[in-house]
């Protein structure tokens, strides 16, 4: 069968069909994006080749977005870019400049919303050798499933002292006078709306549970602030537990609200402020984490900092129903370092490993992650990490990529 240059497709049973030479669109990104892409592409290709020889290879297709698109086509996010990702299902991107002024608030948000990428997936693990602020960073091994489309991030806000804010308060006063009376300074308050739905919660929690089952993880923790925000965050917890019972046959265990699936997987919950203590005091007790948008934002960065990996954390935005997924470097464009061959490409490379695993090329993902871990453990790192590691050898972006290639074991 000639399957060169074929697209990845979603089969009716829900699995991805991945040809041996899949077309994968990539966005180079702005600022340090080109430095990262030029160093990373040979590493990703070498990782695939180290496992599959000439049998499999990614056929990269560059798409424009961000400053490069604006400069050449006069638009920040060309329709062709969206259409191609929609068609090819899986893509990867470097960091993009957030346009100042203009119609688009954030390109990343536009991509997530355009493709309804409802899960933000952020694995957090420790790499030996990296300087961490805690005593046992190796105990952190969590995968955060952050809801990506709802919560206060829906962007429904009314600016203080505006006609909109006034009208909103007047409506509240008319319909719910007791609640309106709780607003301390009604005429100088800004207002925000926090939508959290059953469907939005269920699809996120379902994805987290399926991930935990497929990857032999021991537990899923539902992180929320339901003691205060009962009908949004509390509902998230309740809907999550109900889904675990209804779709996965989970049953109560112990005295609390925790459940257990027939496979042994535990579903438990934790209030978000307590969870931020838990990740410092008992990180090994949490494995997969399912949470709302804002909590997920805070927890992702706190956990990444805990393993010293704030600049090298990978991430993906995924719709497990349609199969659409965009893998990305989680840092920004680092304009101060652009074009100097000094930035760290690890965030992009680890996201690439996530992508390889997502398309079923798990051995190549293992090879890539293993080689990155080995390179860092040997103290061969870019300047951002070298500054914190005693006895490290400081490498440029490209040389770091070459070091990783040299550590790929066949």
Cα dihedral angle (150, 153, 154, 157), rounded to 10 degrees? 140
Nearer to ligand NAD, 170 or 340 (CB): 340
Q: How far is the CB of 102 from ligand NAD (least distance, A)?
A: 13
Selected from 148, 221, 333, 375, the binder of ligand NAD by CB under 6 A is 333
122 and 315 in contact (C-beta within 8 Å)? yes
Is there binding between residue 260 and ligand NAD (CB under 6 A)?
A: no
Structure tokens at 308: 């010293």
Is there binding between residue 307 and ligand NAD (CB under 6 A)?
A: no
Residues binding ligand NAD: number (CB under 6 A): 18
Structure tokens at 141: 């091994």
Spatial separation of the C-alpha atoms in residues 296 and 310, rounded to whole Å: 15
Chain centroid to Cα 192, Å, comes to 24
Longest dimension (CA), the chain: 70
Q: Which of 153, 211, 320, 358 is catalytic?
A: 153
Q: Which stretch binds ligand NAD (CB under 6 A): 18-26, 126-134, 183-191, 336-344?
A: 336-344
Q: How far is the CB of 158 from ligand NAD (least distance, A)?
A: 24
Nearer to ligand NAD, 28 or 32 (CB): 32
Spatial separation of the C-alpha atoms in residues 347 and 273, rounded to whole Å: 27
297 is catalytic: yes
Spatial separation of the C-alpha atoms in residues 252 and 352, rounded to whole Å: 38
Spatial separation of the C-alpha atoms in residues 361 and 374, rounded to whole Å: 20
225 is catalytic: yes
Spatial separation of the C-alpha atoms in residues 109 and 290, rounded to whole Å: 20
User: Per-residue x/- marks for ligand NAD, 88-117, CB under 6 A?
Assistant: -------xxxx---------x---------
68 is catalytic: no
71 is catalytic: no
Spatial separation of the C-alpha atoms in residues 207 and 57, rounded to whole Å: 28
Q: Which of 141, 297, 341, 366 is catalytic?
A: 297
Selected from 269, 369, 384, 402, the binder of ligand NAD by CB under 6 A is 384
DSSP letters spanning 134-171? SS-GGG-EEEEEEE-S-GGGG--EE-TTSHHHHHHHHH
Structure tokens at 237: 């917890």
Q: Which stretch binds ligand NAD (CB under 6 A): 116-124, 132-140, 227-235, 332-340?
A: 332-340
Is there binding between residue 34 and ligand NAD (CB under 6 A)?
A: no
Spatial separation of the C-alpha atoms in residues 385 and 99, rounded to whole Å: 29
Spatial separation of the C-alpha atoms in residues 200 and 206, rounded to whole Å: 10
Is there binding between residue 332 and ligand NAD (CB under 6 A)?
A: yes
Is there binding between residue 352 and ligand NAD (CB under 6 A)?
A: no
Is there binding between residue 161 and ligand NAD (CB under 6 A)?
A: no
Selected from 244, 337, 349, 365, the binder of ligand NAD by CB under 6 A is 337
Is there binding between residue 344 and ligand NAD (CB under 6 A)?
A: yes
Residues that bind ligand NAD (CB under 6 A): 32, 95-98, 108, 311, 328, 331-334, 336-337, 343-344, 347, 384
Which residues are catalytically annotated?
A: 153, 225, 273, 297
């Amino acid at each position: 069968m000639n399957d060169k240059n074929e697209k990845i497709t979603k089969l009716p049973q829900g699995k991805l069909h991945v040809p041996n030479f899949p077309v994968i669109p990539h966005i180079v990104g702005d600022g340090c994006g080109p430095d990262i892409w030029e160093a990373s592409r040979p590493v990703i290709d070498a990782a695939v080749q180290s496992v599959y020889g000439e049998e499999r290879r990614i056929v990269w297709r560059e798409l424009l977005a961000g400053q490069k698109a604006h400069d050449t086509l006069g638009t920040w996010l060309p329709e062709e870019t969206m259409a191609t990702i929609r068609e090819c299902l899986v893509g990867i991107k470097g960091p993009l400049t957030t346009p100042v002024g203009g119609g688009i608030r954030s390109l990343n948000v536009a991509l997530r919303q355009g493709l309804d990428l409802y899960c933000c997936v952020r694995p957090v693990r420790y790499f030996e050798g990296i300087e961490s602020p805690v005593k046992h960073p190796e105990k952190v091994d969590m995968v955060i499933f952050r809801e990506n489309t709802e919560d206060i991030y829906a962007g429904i806000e009314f600016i203080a002292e505006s006609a909109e804010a006034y009208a909103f308060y007047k409506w509240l006063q008319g319909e719910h006078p007791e609640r309106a009376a709780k607003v301390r300074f009604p005429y100088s308050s800004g207002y925000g709306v926090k939508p959290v739905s059953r469907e939005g919660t269920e699809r996120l929690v379902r994805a987290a549970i399926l991930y935990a089952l497929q990857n032999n993880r021991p537990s899923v923790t539902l992180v929320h602030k339901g003691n205060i925000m009962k009908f949004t965050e509390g509902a998230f917890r309740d809907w999550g537990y109900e889904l675990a019972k209804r779709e996965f046959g989970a049953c109560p265990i112990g005295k609390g609200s925790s459940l257990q699936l027939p496979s042994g997987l535990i579903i438990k919950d934790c209030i978000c402020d307590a969870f931020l203590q838990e990740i410092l005091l008992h990180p090994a007790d949490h494995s997969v984490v399912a949470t709302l948008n804002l909590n997920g934002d805070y927890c992702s960065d706190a956990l990444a900092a805990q393993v010293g990996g704030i600049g090298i954390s990978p991430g993906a935005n995924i719709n497990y129903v349609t199969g659409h997924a965009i893998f990305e470097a989680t840092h920004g464009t680092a304009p101060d370092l652009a074009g100097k061959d000094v930035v760290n490409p690890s965030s992009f490379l680890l996201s690439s490993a996530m992508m390889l695993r997502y398309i079923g090329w798990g051995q190549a993902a293992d090879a890539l992650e293993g080689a990155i871990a080995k390179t860092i453990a040997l103290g061969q790192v870019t300047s951002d990490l070298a500054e914190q590691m005693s006895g490290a050898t400081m490498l440029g972006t490209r040389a770091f990529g070459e070091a990783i290639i040299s550590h790929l074991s066949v």
